[in-house]
Copies of this chain bind each other. A is one copy, B any other.
């Protein structure tokens, strides 16, 4: 358990690690002027975690917030019976520990080697007092999360297993811009079980559906943790729920149509 290097830089330097941070645009720091950023840099700490490490326990007092700067993080809740429930996957740029009056809302585990930028929440709160821009940015992040949550609820309500997996693949593809020669390569740092849990289906269904996609030449599976998308457009359509009339989508007629 080695101690991470603590980053402390004098104010107004302008060349502190935060102002030269590649991730500034996609993280919280986006909202801040150089002055505020320097103040943030004064107590930001870079931390690293190895694969499999759980660095946030659900329900623990939320002393810190984090920004992911490298790797992928699994977010999960623990049910009373002890089994876990995957609530999401956090990638580079994602903010952790947003709202936690009663402790962290979910636990976090490194799915691969992970780097984080850690902020003390109490100091962050102080910074918030006289930086409306930052607080506004947090509200903005919260609203993005809410929209994402509603999207996920939509998926869980109406989509079939095939549609859920298509959505999952397409979303992963969109978020990581790593297109290969034959098609877009999507990395899956998580296990089948974690995918299944996240999407509200079973491991077997995940496996079977991937096999089905492969048989239809929509994807290839070079390794268990990597998938190459061949039929991007087809998957997009499937994810949108626009096709496969055979595979019934639940509730398609449960409410009156508003438009025609």
Contact = CB atoms under 8 A, between A and B. Distances in A.
Chain A interface size band reads: 35 or more
A142 B251 contact: no
A105 B147 contact: yes
Contact of A145 (B100, B128, B146, B202): B146
A157 B157 contact: no
A105 B197 CA distance: 27
A154 B105 contact: no
Contact of A158 (B87, B136, B200): B200
Interface of A: 77-78, 80-87, 98-101, 105-106, 128-130, 132, 135-136, 138-140, 142-147, 149-150, 152-154, 156-158, 193-194, 196-197, 200-203, 240, 242, 250-260
How many monomers of this chain does the complex have? 2
Contacts of A197: 157, 251, 254-255
Contact of A193 (B128, B130, B158, B255): B255
A83 to B, nearest CB: 5
A157 B202 contact: no
B139 A149 contact: no
Contact of A255 (B84, B149, B259): B84
A152 B154 CA distance: 11
Nearest to A125: B136
A193 B196 CA distance: 29
Nearest to A260: B82
